[in-house]
Structure 1
Amino acid sequence: MSLTSMLEAASHGGTIEVEDGWTQGRAIFGGLTGALLLSAMKGRVADVAASTGKPAAMPPLRSITVSFVGPATPGTVEIEAEVLRVGSNVTQTQATMRQSGEVVAVALAAFGKHRESKLTVEPTHPFPELPEPSSVEAFPYIEKLTPEFYQFAELRQVGGEMPFSGSSSSGISGWTGLRERPQFLTEEHVVLLADAWPPAPLQMVEGFAPGSSLTWTLELIAEIGAETVPGSADLAYQATTDSARDGYAHTHAMLWLQSGELAAISRQSITIFA
């Protein structure tokens, strides 16, 4: 089942079959988990709109927060989504992913329609200085060495070092895109790609040590709608480690469209067993 097919299945809720090859360590890649939960929530909003007329149109995604409760493995998962509230401007939703009867992930999402406003603040983080994506070699997929989902996500690292290299650096930058390019990027694709990079502080660890996302919030700045961003586009990425202590690290990252427009802000709490 392709990524498109999995997202389509998730939009209907219920049982979804997660294909092999989408793991990161022992668990399903968190970006895919977030994308499936988002698709389920959008599908539920569409169902409510069809029966009530509200919202009149699907508002753009403004924020999604995912809590990774436990590791989910490839195979059958159950996703249940509900609409918490449809307001005049903002629609709030929730989705839960279960496997073998156990909760493995929970997400909240806020969708807000575009409104005219006198308030405008330009992004304070400038577009990073990166060479053209085509000039940077993508990480290869190497069986049993790189994460399995590298078969589907293409990462081109420019700044920072490799995970577990004992580096003094705690930041990462580069480009990311899908290996099989869709016609257009969707909000689900942006969610998936935003989590494709390894946690920035892992490069500071010398020798392998397990680590995983605990909570993750992605705030969309650009409106990624139908036919607005071509699927051939890569997203520029730059992550910073804000703090690390007591076995937990905290990072924030920015993602930009190739035009230089800020697309999203990502914030993560990460468990690191080192």
Structure 2
Amino acid sequence: MSLTSMLESAAHGGTVEVEEGWTQGRAIYGGLTGALMLSAMKGKLRDLAGSTGSPVVVPPLRSLTVSFVGPAATGPVDVEAEVLRVGSNVIQCQATVRQSDAIVATALAAFGRHRESSISVPPAHPMLDLGDPAAVEPFPYIKGLTPEFYRFVELRQVGGQMPFSGAEAADLSGWTALREAPERFEEEHLVLLTDAWPPAPIQMLDGFAPGSSLTWTIELIAEVGPDVVPADANLAYAATTDAARGGYAHTHAMVWRPDGELLAISRQTITIFG
């Protein structure tokens, strides 16, 4: 099942067959898990609009919060979504992913229509000068050494050090894209790519130790769609580690379009076993 097929299947709800290779360690890659739940919620909203005779227009995604409850293996997973409330401007939804009758991930999403407002504050974080992505060699996919999902996602690191290299700093930056461009770039693709980078603080470890996302929130600053983001776009990414202690780290990251427009802010709580 291709990425497009998995997202389309999730939009209908029910069982989705996750293709081999979409893993990170022993679990399905978290960015894909988030994208599947988002697709399920948008599918539920389209169904709701269709049942009431309303125009099938899903408002722009404003935020998505994912809690990774447990690991899920590739193969069949059950993805279900529910509309919690439809307001005059904002719609709230939730989704779950289950495998073998156990919840492995949950998500809450807020979709919001445009409002008239007198407040306008430009983004405080301009895009870093990361140079030309074509001048940076992407991470290779090496079976048994790199995450399996690197077969589908391309990362070009510019700032920071390699994971488990004993670095003194804990920030990270670079370019990311899908190796095979989709027909149309949608919010689901942004969600998938934003989680592709390794947790920024694990570069400080001087040897391998497990680490994984516990919770993850992505806040969309600008609208995302095929009319504003090219399907083959390299997105700029820069992560900052805000704090780390007691086996937990807290990071925030910015994601920009190639033209410098801020698309999203990503925030993570990360568990580190080392």
TM-score band w.r.t. shorter chain: over 0.9
Indicate whether 1:225 and 2:225 are aligned. yes
What is the CA deviation profile of residues 200-224 of structure 1, one whole-angstrom value per residue up to 9, with x for unaligned ones? 0000011000011000000011101
2:253 alignment partner in structure 1: 253
Indicate whether 1:101 and 2:95 are aligned. no
1:235 alignment partner in structure 2: 235
Work out whether residues 171 and 238 of structure 1, in 8 Å CA contact, stay in contact via their aligned partners in 2: yes
Work out whether residues 236 and 257 of structure 2, in 8 Å CA contact, stay in contact via their aligned partners in 1: yes
Work out whether residues 7 and 39 of structure 2, in 8 Å CA contact, stay in contact via their aligned partners in 1: yes
With normalisation by structure 1, the TM-score equals 0.98
**Secondary structure at 1:93 match in 2:** strand
AA partner of residue 46 (structure 2): A
**Secondary structure at 1:144 match in 2:** coil
Question: Structure 2 vs 1, CA of residues 134 and 82 (structure 1 numbering), >3 Å: closer, same or farther?
Answer: same
Task: Report the Cα offset of residue 87 of structure 1.
Answer: 0.7
- CA–CA distance in structure 2, aligned partners of residues 124 and 78 of structure 1: 40
Identity of aligned residues (%): 70
- CA–CA distance in structure 1, aligned partners of residues 262 and 95 of structure 2: 27
Work out whether residues 163 and 203 of structure 1, in 8 Å CA contact, stay in contact via their aligned partners in 2: yes
With normalisation by structure 2, the TM-score equals 0.98
1:170 alignment partner in structure 2: 170
2:15 alignment partner in structure 1: 15
1:45-194 to structure 2, matched below 5 A, reads 45-53=45-53, 57-194=57-194
1:202-217 to structure 2, matched below 5 A, reads 202-217=202-217
Work out whether residues 85 and 91 of structure 1, in 8 Å CA contact, stay in contact via their aligned partners in 2: yes
CA RMSD of superposed structures (Å): 1.0
Question: Structure 2 vs 1, CA of residues 186 and 52 (structure 1 numbering), >3 Å: closer, same or farther?
Answer: same
- CA–CA distance in structure 2, aligned partners of residues 193 and 123 of structure 1: 21
Task: Report the Cα offset of residue 24 of structure 1.
Answer: 0.3
**Secondary structure at 1:35 match in 2:** helix
AA partner of residue 86 (structure 2): V
Unaligned runs of 5+ in 2: none
Task: Report the Cα offset of residue 228 of structure 1.
Answer: 2.4
AA partner of residue 19 (structure 2): E
- CA–CA distance in structure 2, aligned partners of residues 76 and 9 of structure 1: 11
Work out whether residues 183 and 232 of structure 1, in 8 Å CA contact, stay in contact via their aligned partners in 2: no
- CA–CA distance in structure 2, aligned partners of residues 148 and 58 of structure 1: 32
Displacement over 3 Å in runs of 4+: 53-56
Task: Report the Cα offset of residue 56 of structure 1.
Answer: 5.9
**Secondary structure at 2:96 match in 1:** strand
Work out whether residues 255 and 262 of structure 2, in 8 Å CA contact, stay in contact via their aligned partners in 1: yes
Task: Report the Cα offset of residue 57 of structure 1.
Answer: 2.1
AA partner of residue 119 (structure 1): I
- CA–CA distance in structure 2, aligned partners of residues 261 and 32 of structure 1: 24
AA partner of residue 72 (structure 1): A
Work out whether residues 50 and 56 of structure 2, in 8 Å CA contact, stay in contact via their aligned partners in 1: no
- CA–CA distance in structure 1, aligned partners of residues 32 and 225 of structure 2: 19
**Secondary structure at 1:11 match in 2:** helix
Work out whether residues 83 and 92 of structure 2, in 8 Å CA contact, stay in contact via their aligned partners in 1: yes
- Say how many residue pairs are matched: 274
Work out whether residues 55 and 86 of structure 1, in 8 Å CA contact, stay in contact via their aligned partners in 2: no
AA partner of residue 265 (structure 1): I
- CA–CA distance in structure 2, aligned partners of residues 139 and 58 of structure 1: 35
Work out whether residues 155 and 175 of structure 1, in 8 Å CA contact, stay in contact via their aligned partners in 2: yes
- CA–CA distance in structure 2, aligned partners of residues 267 and 177 of structure 1: 20
- CA–CA distance in structure 2, aligned partners of residues 188 and 57 of structure 1: 16
Question: Structure 2 vs 1, CA of residues 201 and 55 (structure 1 numbering), >3 Å: closer, same or farther?
Answer: farther
Work out whether residues 184 and 232 of structure 1, in 8 Å CA contact, stay in contact via their aligned partners in 2: no
**Secondary structure at 2:8 match in 1:** helix
